[in-house]
Amino acid sequence: MKRESLKELGLNEEQIKKIMDINGADIEKAKGDSAEASKENESLRSQIKERDKDLKHLRKQVEDNKDLTEQLNSLKDKYDKDTADLNTKLSHVRLNSAIDRSLSKDKVRNIKAIKGLLDMDSIKLDKDGNLTGLQDQVEDIKKSDPYLFDQGQKEDYKPDNGKPAKTSEAQTMIDVFKGDIK
C-alpha cells in the first residue's frame, strides 16, 4: 500500500497516516507469525537430522553384534515413530500458519474466535502451499457474522448535514442538564 494511492482516493494526511499505521501493524504481526513458524519448522527439521545421524553412527558400530542390532532396530522403530510425529506436527504448524495468514488478509478481528467457527478437518494445504476449503467457510461466516471482520472505518455521525452546531458542545450539555433543550 502506497501513500500516493491513498492520496489519489482523496484521503487527507491524517487518514493516510492512520491507515498506514494499521497496515504496518498487520504486516509486523504477519512477519512475527511467519518467523515463529519458520523457527519451529527449522527446529523440527534439525531434530530429524540429528536422529538420522545417530542411527547411521550406531549401524556402523554394531553390524555384527546381535544384541546391539536389536537395540538398533528398537531405536530405529522409535525414531521412525518420532519422525512421523514430528512430520505431523510440522504439517499442523504449516496449516495453522497458512490459515492465520489467510484470515489476516480477510481482515478478521479475532482469529481464535473465527477458528472456533471453522470446520478445520475440511481445510487442507496442498503441496504448493494453497489452502482448500477455507475461503468458502470464511465467506459464509462473513454473511452470517459480519461483525467478526474489519469493514473499514465508518464515517462519524454529523448532525444537521455536517454543518457545525450553532452552540458549543459545552453549552449544549448545560442546556441538556437544565432542561432548556429547544
**Mind listing the pLDDT tens digit for each residue in 15-64?**
888 888 888 888 888 888 888 888 888 898 899 899 888 888 877 776 66
**Quick one: cell of 130?**
494453497
Which DSSP state fits 106? T
Whether 62 and 69 have beta carbons less than 8 Å apart is answered as yes
> What is the model's pLDDT at position 81?
94
Q: With a cut of 70, say whether residue 153 has pLDDT above it.
A: no
| Band (1; pLDDT cuts 50, 70, 90) | low
**Mind listing the pLDDT tens digit for each residue in 94-140?**
888 889 888 888 888 888 888 889 898 889 988 888 888 889 999 99
**Helix (H) / strand (E) containing 152:** none
Q: CB under 8 Å to 47, separation ≥6 — which residues?
A: 82, 86
Domain-wise residue ranges, the chain: 1-63, 74-177
> What is the model's pLDDT at position 79?
93
**Helix (H) / strand (E) containing 132:** strand 131-132
